[in-house]
């Protein structure tokens, strides 16, 4: 049996400002770094064979902090840094023309119902952006190509990502269906642990410090 942990990054600067972020590469807030440390403490004693992250620094930094705080993953350090495999397919959903806009102000401009559709529907993309279905396609493809083989070999894997990337992976793993996944809340900085049997992740639980 191996283990898979999905970890949404801690609070980002634009999370705090209630802005659509998407592909924009913003950093963590002090609270976000503390959330990452707390998530790392919840992983104390877990030894990961591989760590993956998106290419956005809020996910990378969260993953690095969590590995350091766990106290059991020094073997993943490389030349003063961390051996983390980063890929664009694990990035947050692309919000297109909405990126950088305040969510409340956007609702006033376009109407709350339209913004709710852009944010919470499964297959409707905002202008110039991606739908959650699009993220399921790219993140699920990457999971099958790079992460699933590690789990099949019995390795323990940590994936640092984003709210919508985690939702997408939950669909790809069969944990939630497309109808319900837009309303599944993914807390920042709280690890989600899957026990993996024969390479297949089962149900998950949140780990609290």
Contacts of 95 (CB under 8 A, 6+ apart): 20, 21, 22, 23, 126, 129, 130
Residue 2 backbone dihedrals phi, psi, to 5 degrees: -115, 180
Is 72:158 a contact under the CB 8 Å cutoff?
Answer: no
Is 75 marked active-site?
A: no
Q: Mark whether 108 is an active-site residue.
A: no
Is residue 80 packed enough to be buried (19+ CB in 10 Å), middle (13-18) or exposed (0-12)?
exposed
List all residues 6 or more positions away from 70 whose beta carbon is below 8 Å from its beta carbon. 40, 41, 43, 44, 45, 46
> What pLDDT was estimated at residue 82?
97
Predicted TM-score (pTM) of the model is 0.96
pLDDT for the residue numbered 44: 96
Token pair, residue 7, equals 């970890």
Class of the 2-206 domain? alpha beta
Model pLDDT, residue 12: 98
Distance CA 52, CA 174 (A): 20
| Segments in the chain below pLDDT 70 | none
pLDDT, residue 199, reads 87
Catalytic residue, chosen from 9, 35, 64, 130, is 9
d(C-alpha 180, C-alpha 55), whole Å: 28
Sketch the domain layout of the chain as residue ranges: 2-206
Given the residues 64, 92, 130, 162, the one annotated as active site: 92
């Amino acid at each position: 049996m191996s283990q898979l942990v999905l970890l949404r990054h801690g609070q980002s600067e634009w999370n705090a400002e209630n802005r659509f972020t998407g592909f924009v590469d913003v950093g963590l807030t002090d609270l976000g770094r503390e959330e990452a440390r707390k998530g790392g403490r919840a992983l104390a004693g877990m030894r990961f064979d591989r760590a993956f992250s998106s290419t956005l620094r809020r996910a990378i930094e969260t993953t690095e902090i969590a590995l350091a705080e766990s106290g059991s993953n020094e073997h993943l350090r490389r030349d003063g840094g961390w051996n983390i495999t980063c890929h664009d397919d694990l990035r947050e959903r692309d919000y297109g023309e909405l990126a950088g806009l305040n969510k409340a102000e956007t609702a006033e401009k376009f109407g709350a119902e339209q913004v709710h559709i852009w944010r919470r529907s499964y297959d409707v993309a905002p202008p110039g952006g991606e739908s959650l279905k699009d993220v399921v396609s790219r993140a699920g493809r990457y999971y099958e190509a790079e992460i699933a083989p590690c789990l099949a070999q019995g390795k323990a894997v940590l994936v640092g990502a984003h709210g919508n990337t985690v939702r997408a992976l939950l669909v790809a793993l069969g944990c939630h269906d497309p109808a319900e996944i837009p309303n599944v809340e993914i807390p920042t900085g709280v690890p989600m642990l899957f026990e993996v049997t024969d390479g297949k992740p089962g149900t998950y639980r949140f780990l609290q410090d």
